[in-house]
Amino acid sequence: MLFIVPDTHFRHAKLIACGARPPDFESRLMAAWRETVAPADDVIVLGDIGFGDCGDIFRALPGRKILIRGNHDHGSDAKFRAMSFSLVCDSLTVRMRGRRVLLTHCPMYEHGYDINVHGHLHSLFTYPGPGLRLPLALEASDFAPIAAGEHFEKMVESFCRRFEEQDIRPAAADFAALHRPGRKKPSRMTPEGFLRFAEDEATFETRRACQRREEKLMALLGRRPRRLLDEARTFLHGAAANSATDEEAWDRQTQRLGLGNAERRGCADSNDSARPKR
């Protein structure tokens, strides 16, 4: 059996502090992992495994583990193999019912595969643009490994066929059903609720605006060094979780990224509440 686990973020205290995940998410994930994954099963981890030394956690979890590096996964392949990962890579291609499925950490905005399965966003948000993408998030699976068995493969094939024949992209409800097969809706949140880092509507709207801003900013940054791209994403995600980010901080960050005044203004639109007001 194949399982996919996105963005485990073990020992990432700031993720809890900013309200992005509940304080008990690690224990829930490890308990669900031990309950569902057998020693002979394969587990693909879609990056951002954790902060500090998490080797003891992964060595204690069952399954043959494969790591697709995320933007927080720094170090040599040997480092991650010592954590019990049998394979370490930047991307992986598998076939599901004849479909070429590209597995990555970050969403691939342009790709030549039938579908891109990714993590990174911690939500069921999908970017517009060429190609078909399927976001996976532990927040959508009640912090349990996602079984990529017959049900998963059928839905992936259905997504690809509808996209090819009718140019129909899956909706959030489709993604939710894929995360928790057999349930009409997730147990804790509505599909739209997966975008929330907090319960209040203001924070929800701020995060959605930051996701729109990230797409624009990534397009403007183009081929700048990956370090700057990661820095930009980190700043924007922090702004989404903390609506108190001030305008001066935003200006300092965009200047550091090498954006001119016109480009910085182009990142925002009249309905974008992500940029803090004075």
Choose one of 195, 213, 243: the last residue of a domain.
Answer: 195
The sign one gets for the Cα dihedral 119, 28, 194, 250 is negative
Residues 190, 109 within the same domain: yes
Residue 14's pLDDT band (boundaries 50, 70, 90)?
Answer: confident
- If asked whether residues 61 and 82 sit together in one domain, one would say yes
CATH number at residue 23: 3.60.21.10
The CB density around residue 159, as the number of other CB atoms within 10 Å, is 22
Does residue 190 share a domain with residue 233?
no
Do 187 and 133 reside in the same domain of the chain? yes
- Indicate if 154 and 230 belong to the same structural domain: no
Give domain status of residue 246, yes or no: yes
276 part of a folded domain: no
Query: How high is the pLDDT of residue 57?
Result: 96
Q: Same structural domain for residues 60 and 123?
A: yes
Question: CB under 8 Å to 108, separation ≥6 — which residues?
Answer: 102, 116, 118, 131, 133
Domain coverage including residue 90: 2-195
Domain end call among 195, 216, 250: 195
Asked if residue 226 and residue 190 are part of one domain, the reply reads no
Say if 271 falls within a structural domain. no
**Would residue 278 count as lying in a domain?**
no
Say if 98 falls within a structural domain. Answer: yes
- Residue 274 domain flag: no
Using a 10 angstrom Cβ sphere, with 0-12 exposed, 13-18 middle and 19 or more buried, the burial of residue 247 is: exposed
Rounded to two decimals, the pTM is 0.66
Residues 113 and 50 in one domain: yes
* Cβ contact 232:189 at 8 Å: no
Report how far residue 268's alpha carbon sits from residue 150's, in angstroms, rounded to the nearest whole number. Answer: 43
**How many independent structural domains does the chain possess?**
2
| 101 and 234 share one domain | no
Q: pLDDT per residue over 46-80, tens digit each?
A: 999 998 889 999 999 999 999 999 999 999 999 99
Q: Which tokens is 137 given?
A: 């998030």
Could you write out the three-class secondary structure of 238-258? HHHHCCCCCHHHHHHHHHHCC
Instruction: Note whether residue 273 is domain-resident.
Output: no
Question: 144-197, pLDDT tens digit by residue?
Answer: 999 999 989 998 999 999 888 888 888 777 777 777 654 433 333 333 333 333
152 assigned to some structural domain: yes
Is it the case that residue 11 has pLDDT exceeding 90? yes
Domain stop point among 164, 195, 226: 195
Same domain flag for 147 and 183: yes
Q: Do residues 214 and 182 share a domain?
A: no
How far is C-alpha 21 from the chain's CA centre?
13
Q: Are 135 and 125 in contact (CB under 8 A)?
A: yes
On whether both 47 and 180 belong to a single domain, the answer is yes
Q: Is the Cβ–Cβ distance between 48 and 233 less than 8 Å?
A: no
Rounded to an integer, what distance in angstroms lies between the CA atom of residue 221 and that of residue 142? 35
